[in-house]
Amino acid sequence: MNSIQNPLRLGLLGAGVVASGVVKVLERNQAEIRRRAGRGIEVARVGARNLAKARAALGDGLAITDDLDAVVTDPKVDIVVELIGGTTRARELVLKAIASGKHVVTANKALLAVHGTEIFAAASDKGVMVAFEAAVAGGIPIIKALREGLTANRIQWIAGIINGTTNFILSEMRAKGLDFGTVLKEAQRLGYAEADPTFDIEGVDAAHKATIMSAIAFGIPMQFDKAYVEGITKLQAADINYAEQLGYRIKLLGVTKRRDDVAGGGIELRVHPTLVPAKRLIANVEGAMNAVVVNGDAVGSTLYYGKGAGSEPTASAVVADLVDVTRLHTADPDHRVPHLAFQPDALDNAPVLSIEDVVTSFYLRLRVADQTGVLARITGILAEHDISIDAVLQREAGDDETQTDLIILTHETREGRMNEALSKMQALPTVLAPIVRIRKEELN
Amino acid sequence: MNSIQNPLRLGLLGAGVVASGVVKVLERNQAEIRRRAGRGIEVARVGARNLAKARAALGDGLAITDDLDAVVTDPKVDIVVELIGGTTRARELVLKAIASGKHVVTANKALLAVHGTEIFAAASDKGVMVAFEAAVAGGIPIIKALREGLTANRIQWIAGIINGTTNFILSEMRAKGLDFGTVLKEAQRLGYAEADPTFDIEGVDAAHKATIMSAIAFGIPMQFDKAYVEGITKLQAADINYAEQLGYRIKLLGVTKRRDDVAGGGIELRVHPTLVPAKRLIANVEGAMNAVVVNGDAVGSTLYYGKGAGSEPTASAVVADLVDVTRLHTADPDHRVPHLAFQPDALDNAPVLSIEDVVTSFYLRLRVADQTGVLARITGILAEHDISIDAVLQREAGDDETQTDLIILTHETREGRMNEALSKMQALPTVLAPIVRIRKEELN
């Protein structure tokens, strides 16, 4: 059999932005891809709910049906590419494709973060591959780096800017000194934020991606329900400004970390606004770009940067998965790259820790009465809780002001302990407004 | 056969810094690696010229011989890891290992850049793998990104800081305003530069790595002999300073670029000091760190950053290759990832262009007489050669000075054309010293 004369046949589910990117890239770069893969890749059939829209998006040359089930069971389809999104219908179709013996490529982070364990178990049973490079950080090959490039390492932590919408908003807030609401409207106008931006600005999208990275970095099951998720909607321009004065930038990071100091081991999995030293490369990632830092015990910190969304950047990851499947489907299934980087029988059961047990340093902003003794009271409370101070910035009150901002950077502490200290500080009569608390990571 | 009970057996050639890193990482992370690879990896035999030194470096527990040929033909060895360096003995041993049906992992960039075509042909004939992640940018999985992560793309260009020694020297020159010679001595004292630093500071090491990236990005044979190579030894502190004032940093870049505007196609392959806009992430890569930017037509620019050298970072890449081989050796050889990313019968014969045909923008520094009309004469010569000017910086001459520095940034032009213009400018009586010319890349 001359494999070059037998192209790999896709069943494509979806006809949106990414699907049209996949069709375009496969068409435009077909010669290049065939030179690499050793055989062609062609779209055999497309399943989309709205036929008219699908034809408008993908062109007339393709066989399009609105019977999505027929695509995933079609004997003329070798691989199913799932790009419809969501977690209900997508789950059914992916499981049905696997049951029909098809390999699956998906860009659906929500599906994997929530139903990944079930899907990978089904795929292992049937000896098929489920590839998902496009599910995290768009065109950046971060899944491949984690799962294959860094296999020598005991991975210590990952910290990533993995949502372009929020990074665009934070970049604009800093550059222009504007408030969250104003920049969100601008982002919506420019197409960087959706009409309903909840999943992005509340950190849910980033948490899906952090969950997936956590699983393949540490060899644990997907545990999205255990992730701590905090978005950027409450972030104020004043804090971005104070952070800057102290040499930091505020980024929405997805963080996952191995905690060897916890008895029996533990994993941190969290998304929240984070102060990062301005001199770190990741602090200088601006606009809608994504970047992920991975720290391994042998290699140290490596960083991966690029476009985390968009039609062709995401298609780049989908097509790379297709080429991988083309190359590797002849390997003994027991010797292929495991879905979650670790062999299915070698997963770890280290628990995801509650946010109370997470250890970070902190940025605190307190609105305080401009009186002597205030700083002593507050630092006294931190000392009582064994929380040591890294830096203090007290804005000088104007002549006619009776209150001022007090900024404190702390060293690392357990979040539960910080919460106790915060509630004592908040109760002081000289603390005049709710205390702002933002986590800080040195990432060194 | 329970594969987990049959570890993969290495024959390790070399007992230096990287070899000891490989032994340490395999030992320390053996559980982690086995969980990923599905089987253990053990050092079955070590070949090293100096037995006493090898025992001191690697410990007493290993079977060490000074008969390197016996290691590569040993039936108890599954994979040969070549870490002796050099191009003569290493070539013999690698070819002998391949002839004996062993897979090979190597960190030897010089060997591949010079003899890669011969070695990969031999490996294809025997159906064995030759993996070389450690040969470029140490622990950064850039080979995997190029060969597998970005397969959907027609790659347009690559630009990398791929030599830590020179990046350390340039970072120090900029930070401290010191001259090359002074910083080189400091780098040697700190261990960032070797006693004989020629290969690093003259750009040869970077050119080996750029050659390898060029081959896998564009599907061309290795052509180190066609690379243009210029080091950093002539770089002056004044130019780093002027570049800074104009918003640029000077980095030693390895650049390879596809030139579709040349009839029949052409590839640029070059290493030289380069002005890069200070706002680009790669311009902010400091010290001995490495970073590579890859531009593909679908994904846009992606960047990969990390430690480019050192014992465990390099070992990280070697061991990742070992895990890859462990995973993939059961695949049909025709379906494995091709050595050079493209199928051996699908290589391109686009020629590597001579430096005269390379297109870049330029930074020029002219020491000129402080007289009226000088700027007009010089810009007139550029205009005659159709070279347009992007920016001019003229240092104001002091009251008692009769000469001054004139800095010109140009737009893109063919280097041959710039050479003609330069020789006319150099001949002007008002140009008082050899003109400094540094290439500039916008990398957008």
Does residue B391 carry a pLDDT above 60? yes
**Catalytic residue status for A209:** yes
For residue A338, what pLDDT is reported? 84
For the domain made up of B142-308, the CATH class stated in words is alpha beta
| Stretch A284-299: mean pLDDT | 98
Question: Are the beta carbons of A38 and B334 separated by less than 8 Å?
Answer: yes
Q: What is the DSSP string of A220-285?
A: ----GGG-EE--STT--HHHHHHHHHTTEEEEEEEEEEE-TTSTT--EEEEEEEEEEETTSGGGG-
Domain with CATH 3.30.360.10 in chain A: 142-300
Please name the residues in contact with B261: beta carbons below 8 A apart, sequence gap of 6 or more: none
For residue B3, what pLDDT is reported? 47
Residues of B carrying an active site annotation: 209
The per-residue pLDDT for range A223-269, each reduced to its tens digit, is 999 999 999 999 999 999 999 999 999 999 999 999 999 998 999 99
Which residue among the candidates A209, A257, A307, A440 is catalytic per the annotation? A209
Q: How far is B30 from chain A (nearest CA, A)?
A: 9
Query: Distance from CA of residue A384 to its chain's centroid?
Result: 37
More confident site: A35 or B436: B436
> For residue A280, what is the nearest residue in chain B, using CA coordinates?
B284
Does residue A4 carry a pLDDT above 60? no
| B295 touches A at CB < 8 Å | no
Which chain B residues touch A29 with a CB distance below 8 Å? Answer: 152-154, 297-298
Enter the tokens of residue B303.
């960047």
- Find out whether B172 is annotated in a ligand binding site: no
Does residue A386 carry a pLDDT above 90? yes
- Hey, which residues 108-147 in chain A have their CB within 8 Å of chain B? 133, 139-141, 144-145
Q: How far is B373 from chain A (nearest CA, A)?
A: 42
Q: What is the DSSP string of B268-285?
A: EEEEEEEEEETTSGGGG-
Does residue A444 carry a pLDDT above 90? no
Q: What is the distance between the alpha carbons of residues B353 and B341, in angstroms, rounded to a whole number?
A: 22
User: Which of B145, B313, B328 has its CB closest to that of A298?
Assistant: B313
For residue B5, what pLDDT is reported? 57
The per-residue pLDDT for range A52-72, each reduced to its tens digit, is 999 999 988 999 999 999 999
Query: What proportions of chain A, in percent to the nearest 5, are helix, strand and coil?
Result: 40, 25, 35
Taking alpha carbons only, the member of A323, A334, A106 closest to residue A212 is A106
The per-residue pLDDT for range B112-150, each reduced to its tens digit, is 999 999 999 999 999 999 999 999 999 999 999 999 999
Domain with CATH 3.30.360.10 in chain B: 142-308
User: Which of B29, B141, B281 has its CB closest to that of A284?
Assistant: B281
Question: B349 exposed, middle or buried (CB, 10 Å; 0-12, 13-18, 19+)?
Answer: exposed
For the domain made up of A3-131, the CATH class stated in words is alpha beta
Question: Are the beta carbons of A305 and B300 separated by less than 8 Å?
Answer: no
Enter the tokens of residue B237.
């502190």
Does residue B351 carry a pLDDT above 70? yes
Q: Which segment of A115-124, B114-123, B293-302, B324-333 scores lowest on mean pLDDT?
A: B324-333
Question: Are the beta carbons of B133 and A140 separated by less than 8 Å?
Answer: no
Q: What is the distance between the alpha carbons of residues B439 and A106, in angstroms, rounded to a whole number?
A: 43
| B319 touches A at CB < 8 Å | yes
User: Which of A36, A140, A307 has its CB closest to that of B151?
Assistant: A36
Question: Are the beta carbons of B305 and A302 separated by less than 8 Å?
Answer: yes
| A335 touches B at CB < 8 Å | yes
Which chain A residues touch B29 with a CB distance below 8 Å? Answer: 152-154, 297-298
Q: pLDDT averaged over chain A?
A: 94
Question: Are the beta carbons of A300 and B306 separated by less than 8 Å?
Answer: yes
Judged by DSSP in three states, A296 sits in: strand
Q: Considering chain A, what percentage of its residues have pLDDT values greater than 90?
A: 88
For residue B401, what pLDDT is reported? 87
Q: How far is A10 from chain B (nearest CA, A)?
A: 15
Question: Are the beta carbons of A150 and B133 separated by less than 8 Å?
Answer: no
CB atoms < 10 A from the CB of A153, how many? 29
Q: What is the distance between the alpha carbons of residues B144 and A232, in angstroms, rounded to a whole number?
A: 35
Q: What is the DSSP string of B342-403?
A: S-GGG---PPBPPGGG-EEEEEEEEEEES-TTHHHHHHHHHHHTTPPEEEEEEPPPPTT-SE
> For residue A305, what is the nearest residue in chain B, using CA coordinates?
B303
Judged by DSSP in three states, B428 sits in: coil
User: Residue A127, by phi and psi: left (phi above 0), alpha (psi -120 to 50) or beta?
Assistant: left
Question: Are the beta carbons of B306 and A298 separated by less than 8 Å?
Answer: no
Enter the tokens of residue B306.
């990390």
Taking alpha carbons only, the member of A150, A166, A409 closest to residue A285 is A166
Q: How far is A350 from chain B (nearest CA, A)?
A: 14
Domain with CATH 3.40.50.720 in chain B: 3-131
User: Which of A3, A153, A313 has its CB closest to that of B334?
Assistant: A3
Which chain A residues touch B297 with a CB distance below 8 Å? Answer: 28-29, 312
Q: What is the distance between the alpha carbons of residues A20 and B152, in angstroms, rounded to a whole number?
A: 14
The per-residue pLDDT for range A103-141, each reduced to its tens digit, is 999 999 999 999 999 999 999 999 999 999 999 999 999
> For residue B341, what is the nearest residue in chain A, using CA coordinates?
A36
Question: Are the beta carbons of B38 and A313 separated by less than 8 Å?
Answer: no
- Find out whether A194 is annotated in a ligand binding site: yes
CA dihedral for B310, B312, B315, B320, sign (positive or negative): negative
Q: What is the distance between the alpha carbons of residues B362 and B74, in angstroms, rounded to a whole number?
A: 55
Q: What is the distance between the alpha carbons of residues B223 and B385, in angstroms, rounded to a whole number?
A: 32
| Stretch B178-190: mean pLDDT | 95
| A37 touches B at CB < 8 Å | yes
- Hey, which residues 205-244 in chain B have their CB within 8 Å of chain A? 219
The per-residue pLDDT for range A336-366, each reduced to its tens digit, is 788 888 888 888 889 999 999 999 999 999 9
Which chain B residues touch A39 with a CB distance below 8 Å? Answer: none
Does residue B32 carry a pLDDT above 70? yes
Which chain A residues touch B154 with a CB distance below 8 Å? Answer: 28-29, 32
- Hey, which residues 355-414 in chain B have their CB within 8 Å of chain A? none
Reported confidence tier of residue A81, pLDDT bands at 50, 70, 90: very high
Which chain A residues touch B320 with a CB distance below 8 Å? Answer: 148-152
Q: pLDDT averaged over chain B?
A: 94
The per-residue pLDDT for range B395-431, each reduced to its tens digit, is 887 888 899 999 999 999 999 999 999 999 999 999 9
Q: Which fold has domain A142-300?
A: Dihydrodipicolinate Reductase; domain 2 (3.30.360)
For residue A2, what pLDDT is reported? 35
Which chain A residues touch B285 with a CB distance below 8 Å? Answer: 281
Question: Are the beta carbons of B338 and A305 separated by less than 8 Å?
Answer: no
Q: How far is B343 from chain A (nearest CA, A)?
A: 6
Domain with CATH 3.30.70.260 in chain B: 359-440
Reported confidence tier of residue A1, pLDDT bands at 50, 70, 90: very low
Query: What proportions of chain B, in percent to the nearest 5, are helix, strand and coil?
Result: 40, 25, 35
| B324 touches A at CB < 8 Å | yes
The per-residue pLDDT for range A127-184, each reduced to its tens digit, is 999 999 999 999 999 999 999 999 999 999 999 999 999 999 999 999 999 999 999 9
| Stretch A363-385: mean pLDDT | 96
Question: Are the beta carbons of B145 and A149 separated by less than 8 Å?
Answer: yes
CB atoms < 10 A from the CB of A261, how many? 8
Question: Are the beta carbons of A335 and B317 separated by less than 8 Å?
Answer: no
Question: Are the beta carbons of B148 and A323 separated by less than 8 Å?
Answer: yes
Domain with CATH 3.30.70.260 in chain A: 356-440
Q: Which residue type is seen at A85?
A: G
A290 - beta bridge partners? Answer: A306
Q: What is the distance between the alpha carbons of residues A329 and A314, in angstroms, rounded to a whole number?
A: 23
Which chain A residues touch B335 with a CB distance below 8 Å? Answer: 3, 38, 326-331
What residue has token string 């395999």?
Answer: B26
> For residue A32, what is the nearest residue in chain B, using CA coordinates?
B154
Q: What is the DSSP letter of A146?
A: I
Which chain B residues touch A305 with a CB distance below 8 Å? Answer: 281, 302-305
Taking alpha carbons only, the member of B74, B123, B68 closest to residue B95 is B123
Q: What is the distance between the alpha carbons of residues A230 and B289, in angstroms, rounded to a whole number?
A: 33
> For residue A145, what is the nearest residue in chain B, using CA coordinates?
B141
CB A322 within 8 A of CB A160: no
For the structural domain made of A356-440, what CATH number should be given? 3.30.70.260
Assign domain B359-440 to its CATH superfamily.
Answer: ACT domain (3.30.70.260)
Question: Are the beta carbons of A304 and B307 separated by less than 8 Å?
Answer: no
| B6 touches A at CB < 8 Å | no
Question: Are the beta carbons of B307 and A328 separated by less than 8 Å?
Answer: no
Phi, psi angle pair for A411, to nearest 5°:
-80, -175
